[in-house]
Amino acid sequence: MTGVIGQNHRRADGEAKVRGTAIYGMDYTERAALHAKVLRAEVPAARVVRLDTSKAQAMPGVWAVATAADAPGLSGMMALKDQRVFADGVIRYIGEPIAAVAAETPRQARAALAAIELELEPLEPVFDLDEALRPETRLVHPDWESYQTMVPAPREGNLAWQASTERGDVDAVFATAAIVVEDEFRSPRQHQCSIEPHAAVARYEQGRYIVHTPTQFPFLVRGRVAELLGVRPSEIRIVVPTIGGGFGGKLDSMLEPLACVLARKAGRPVRIVNTRAEEMATAAPRENAVVRLRTAVSEDGEILAQEAEVLSDNGANSSGETVACANIPPLVLGGTYRIPNARYVSKVIYTNTPPTAAFRGVNGPYCVFAQEMHLDHIARELGMDRREIRRRNVLKAGEAMVNGQVLDDAVLTDALDTVERMSGEATPSGNPKALRGTAVVPLTWITNPGPSGANVKLDEDGSIVVTAAAAEIGTGAVATGIRQLVAAEFGVPFERVVVTPPDTDAAGYDHGAQGSRTTVGMGNAALDASAKVRDQILDVAAGLLEADVADLELADGAVGISGVPDRKVTLAEVAGAALFTTGPIAAAGSFAAPPIPFDAGCMVGALFTNFFAATYHAHFAEVEVDPDTGKVTVLRYAVAQDVGKAINPQMIEGQIHGGVVQGLGFALYENLRLDGGLVLDQGLESYRLPTALDAPPIDIQLLENPYPHGPLGAKGVAEPPLVPVAAVIGCAVADAIGVPVRSLPLSPFDVLAALRDKRRDEV
Amino acid sequence: MKCSFTLNGRAVEAEIDGLTPLLRLVRDHAGTGTKLGCGEGRCGACTVLVDGEPVASCLYPAANVEGRQVRSIESIAAPDAPLSPVQDALLDGGAVQCGACIPGVVMTLTALLEKENRPSEERVRTELVGNICRCTGYHKIVESALAVTTASEEPV
């Protein structure tokens, strides 16, 4: 049993991936599938005066043309229902679907799109977040008041949603504090850029829609498609092939409703795949944001009170997680440091731009960047050491974060100590003019508390089969994590555990591969079911061995009697005996996050209210800045990460490497630029992703700090390594050049401009 | 026009337009292992070898392979044969996550290691610069490639 946990097992889906035999969503198709193409808006805001598809309908090879009339439903990702499949007479962003065509060939589908007649009357577009909130600005959704919401929240006009957290007497503290420091920070959109684009194949059969789609969250897609099409969720079946990357971008429904509508109209399967340009322009990225911070501190560097206003761009509708996670900024700002008095307001704002969505660390990375750059500013004002101000204010075990939740197991100080110990000598580039800087950043982060159901059966050959809707998006959580947990529970080799691919008809609910939750949520559900199956196995084996259940032990794929080495029955024998006596051995298990005490009274408009299975981190970076070019080179990077319990250390390291490099992309290179609502970066030529030459040396130390409600103590591991990267790089660059750069990414132009301004100020 | 070439050791004759990308022929005739990642020659998921040299098959004109040898991921290990050392090392090293870039990575590394049996880490990274991996952060891919070269030096 102990041979399975903590071991670097190879991923169970690995051979097919390296051989090229795995069938991804982008590879999947069905016999006689039609090709679909989408007519997308080319202006950011307009009224549809005339839409005539009759010519397109009559084109050769065309089987179906669909418009808003075919999909009347309103939906939204969990929180706020303000989205339709097709523009409903009003265009709200460039790229919004207006109509879709299914035809025999892609060329015929494109020709039909060109034959659709569209007449528009332009409207005044809204792009800027502050401007959107002014009373005289045109409303992106004039009907906002009529939209359904999951919980009540302050909303008005272009303010799609507001979430806030307030504690203590903030105004009184500001009025008497020794020092008040104020800052504003900005961050751009970051695109997930999974190698596999969005793809979906749908058919309509026996009155139900069957959709093959590489989604991270099959049950969400099922529910969203049902709402958009105006049918019951059970009328949709989602089947998930191998997924070619997600990072939050494949949580929500995207192409699935289009494929479903067309498949029903055409009476044939319909396949739809995004081009890379469609992917960049319409597949929802991380939101751009503005963070404004104001902090009252004592002379010795103690944070007394803090105010924040976080503006995040929802884009034209709430089809992503930006609204659902609106209370993450307050929790993140007040989850790492002791902030006794706080007023945090998070505003999600409508604009005439493509909708934004979840990206690893949703709503978090720019808040951490802002908070840490701001802390450095405070330290400068006080003439205090940057590490000292962090150590003085960081939350310790037993202290409460801003929502009143007590962090009993906080190990932030240990994490800081660990990265300090790890920081060895850097190898400089050899550029004699290079400026060098370092920074250390602590972070508290969350494991997504969503529920899971799992079914476990003992197969007739003695294998264990787990039927689950947990999606393997590449992290290894399903391909190794769940298998290792279940193998340990039954005392069978890793290879004897099978986890079926997600199919919403077969598996119980699962809350998706998001927020590092799969190993924790599905792991717990699978262990719950496994314990019940284990009881049944022992019961049957007790009969076969004529022994008491209490004397039985399960190991090496067999049940034996303690202290009697010769008396054993294999799991296959148990399964066979059970078939015609007790019946097949199987059980369902489930997981729901235990309630966590916190102060609900301090929050308004929050769907995320606390930190489930909180994890504690510290990141260290050393950078070099070339003063002639503004180029930033990361010389070395260190991570100390609380993982609860490491089920597969190698896979966790892989998640940390990947998260840090994605964070470096956010910090230094990635910027999905918009101009007049048009996404300028339509491919990987201009949207700069980190390459093998950009990945610095990364040292990793895993901290095992078990969580009592995690499977064997495990906590979420995959999301947090991205979250503090922009912050630690931003602070290290500021340390190197002696002046902060307050917007991301830290492009050579911005770094040079900051250096130039500093020199001018010094003259 | 007609295009005749060898794909994974088999003769292929295909009817193509002037600018048909090689990727389409590879996926039609070898299997779906070679991926269309970005479609603009930037991400490297579609990498195949033409006479041993890696090319981005999403841009590479199929007409250019007339009479030449093309190898895609399906050629690296026969379906019922053990994995190649590169494939094996990538799995051992935990270098595979979503795996969409991996067929392209395997082709790039295979071509490199066929030419040089002891490339430096710097050389491996430089060769991989055309293969975007959004999952792994590259370290485990690079370490796996270096592990192949170390393993090949051990006495048999």
Least-confidence region, from A420-424, A611-615, B144-148 = A420-424
Beta bridge partners, A586, equal A457
Q: Is B130 helix (H, G, I), strand (E, B) or coil?
A: helix
Q: Region A587-606: what's the mean pLDDT?
A: 96
Token output for A385? 């050491």
Which stretches does DSSP call E strand in A643-731? 674-675, 678-679, 698-703
Q: What angle do CA A138, A141, A146 make, to 5 degrees?
A: 135
Element (H, E) at B142: helix B139-153
A244 Cα to chain B: minimum distance (Å): 5
> pLDDT (tens digit, 9 = 90+) per residue, B81-115?
999 999 999 999 999 999 999 999 999 999 999 99
Comparing CA positions, the residue from A368, A350, A253, A246 lying closest to residue A725 is A368
The dotted CATH code for A451-591 is 3.30.365.10
In this prediction, residue A742 carries a pLDDT of: 98
Domain locations in chain A as residue ranges: 25-123+198-273, 289-448+597-762, 451-591
pLDDT band at B154 (very low <50, low <70, confident <90, very high): low
Q: What is the pLDDT of residue B19?
A: 87
- Report how far residue A329's alpha carbon sits from residue A290's, in angstroms, rounded to the nearest whole number: 11
- CA-nearest of A155, A127, A141, A153 to A74 is A141
Beta strands in A351-469 (DSSP E): 399-400, 406-407, 435-445, 452-458, 464-468
One-letter identity of residue A324: A
Fold of the B85-147 domain: DNA polymerase; domain 1 (1.10.150)
Nearest to A692 among B43, B72, B138 (CB): B138
- Summarised one tens digit per residue, pLDDT across range B33-43 is 999 999 999 99
Q: Which residues of B touch A243 (CB under 8 A)?
A: 98
Answer yes or no: is pLDDT of A515 > 50.
Answer: yes
- CB-CB neighbours of A692 under 10 Å: 24
The one-letter amino acid at A603: M
Question: Closest approach of chain B CAs to the CA of A17, in angstroms?
Answer: 6
Cβ neighbour number for residue A582 with a 10 Å cutoff = 12
**C-alpha to C-alpha distance for A399 and A405, rounded to whole angstroms:** 8
Interface with B, mutate which of A10, A15, A19, A682 (most B CBs under 10 A): A19
Residue written as tokens 């201009």? A686
To 5 degrees, how large is the angle CA B54–CA A278–CA A37? 105
- Report field, pTM of the whole predicted structure over 0.95: yes
Nearest-CA neighbor of B100 among A709, A208, A671, A473? A473
Residue window 565-604, chain A: list those with CB within 8 Å of chain B: none
3-state secondary structure of A71: coil
Task: Report how far residue A412's alpha carbon sits from residue A426's, in angstroms, rounded to the nearest whole number.
Answer: 24
CA nearest to A11 within chain B: B91
CB B114 within 8 A of CB B52: yes
Candidates A18, A21, A105: best to mutate against B (most CBs of B within 10 A) is A18
Which of A19, A245, A650 comes nearest B135 by C-beta?
A245
Report the distance separating Cα A160 and Cα A145, nearest Å: 10
**Separation CA B144–CA A113 (nearest Å):** 47
Least CA distance to A719: which residue of chain B?
B135
Nearest-CA neighbor of A310 among A346, A350, A344?
Answer: A346
CA A221 to chain CA mean position, Å: 15
E strand or H helix at A540 = helix A523-545
Inter-chain contacts counted by CB atoms under 8 A, chains A and B: 165
Residue of B nearest to A191 (CA): B134
Phi and psi angles of residue A523, each rounded to the nearest 5 degrees, phi first? -60, -45
Nearest to A502, CA basis, from A219, A257, A231, A235? A219
Residue A83 phi/psi, 5-degree rounding, is: -120, 145
3-state class of B5 per DSSP?
Answer: strand
* Chain B nearest-CA residue for A245: B98
DSSP 3-state assignment of A455?
strand
Between CA B62 and CA B60 the distance in angstroms is: 6
**Mutation choice for A interface testing from B135, B138, B140 by most A CBs within 10 A:** B135
Which positions in chain A touch B79 (Cβ < 8 Å)? 19, 21
Six token digits for residue A339: 């902030």
Read off the pLDDT band of B156 (50, 70, 90): very low
Q: Most distant CA pair in chain A: distance in Å?
A: 92
Residue A430's region, left for phi above 0, alpha for psi from -120 to 50, else beta, is left
Whether residue A55 contacts residue A117, with contact meaning beta carbons closer than 8 Å, is answered with yes
Which residue in chain B is spatially nearest to A194 when comparing CA positions? B134
Whether B134 sits inside 8 A of A193 (CB atoms) is yes
Contact of A41 with A95, CB cutoff 8 Å: yes
CA A203 to the chain's CA centroid: 29
Residue type for position A310: V
- Please give the Cα distance from A161 to A403 (Å, whole number): 19
Domain extents for chain B? 2-75, 85-147
Rounded to whole angstroms, how far apart are CA atoms A619 and A642?
12
Q: Which of residues 457-476 of A touch B (CB under 8 A)?
A: 473-476
Cβ contacts of A105 within 8 Å, gap of 6 or more? A35, A61
Q: What is the maximum alpha-carbon separation in chain B?
A: 51
Residue type, A709: H
Instruction: Output the CA–CA distances (angstroms, integers) from residue A607 to A339, A460, A600, in the order listed.
Output: 22, 44, 11
Residue B52 Cα, gap to closest chain A Cα (Å) = 18
Separation of alpha carbons A134 and A350, rounded Å: 12
Place of tokens 């998260």: A659
Nearest to A184 by CA among A616, A577, A740, A653: A740
**For B25-80, how does the pLDDT look when each residue is reduced to its tens digit (9 = 90+)?**
999 999 999 999 999 999 999 999 999 999 999 999 999 999 999 999 999 999 99
Q: Do A19 and B76 touch (CB under 8 A)?
A: yes
Residue A569: strand, helix, or coil: strand
Q: Is A688 on the interface with B (CB under 8 A)?
A: no
Tell me if A94 sits within 8 A of A677, measured CB to CB. yes
Contact between chains at A695 and B128 (C-beta distance less than 8 A): no
Inform me whether the pLDDT recorded for A1 exceeds 80: no
The alpha helices in A20-124, defined as continuous H runs, are 54-57, 106-114
Are the beta carbons of A474 and B125 separated by less than 8 Å?
no
Q: Note whether A18 contacts B125, CB cutoff 8 Å.
A: no
- CATH ID of A25-123+198-273, from 1.10.1740.10, 3.40.220.10, 3.90.1170.50, 3.20.20.70: 3.90.1170.50
Residue A466 to residue A482: CA distance in whole angstroms: 9
The pLDDT score that the predictor gives to residue B155 is 54
**CATH architecture classification, A289-448+597-762:** 2-Layer Sandwich (3.30)
Contact A443, A375 (CB under 8 A): no
Question: Fold match between B2-75 and B85-147?
Answer: no
- pLDDT at res. B152: 66
Query: Does the pLDDT at position A697 exceed 60?
Result: yes
- In the predicted model, what is the mean pLDDT of residues A458-483? 97
Q: A684 and B42 in contact by Cβ < 8 A?
A: yes
A669: CB partners within 8 A, 6+ apart: A688, A689, A690, A694, A745, A747
**Nearest residue, CB atoms, A684 vs list B74, B93, B132:** B132
> Which chain A residues contact residue B72 at CB under 8 A?
20
Which is more confident, A732 or B18?
A732
Taking CA atoms, A517 is separated from A325, A514, A710, A712, B3, in Å, by 15, 6, 10, 14, 50
- Kindly indicate whether the domain formed by B2-75 is annotated with CATH number 3.10.20.30: yes
Average pLDDT over residues A439-455: 97
Q: Report how far residue A154's alpha carbon sits from residue A163's, in angstroms, rounded to the nearest whole number.
A: 7
Amino acid (one-letter) located at A184: E
User: What sign does the dihedral A731-A733-A738-A742 (CA atoms) show?
Assistant: negative
- Say how far apart CA A652 and CA A717 lie, in whole Å: 7
Nearest CA to CA, how far is A12 from chain B (Å)?
10
ipTM above 0.95, yes or no: yes
Question: Could you report the per-residue pLDDT of A113-156, keeping only the tens digit for each?
Answer: 999 999 999 999 999 999 999 999 999 999 999 999 999 999 99
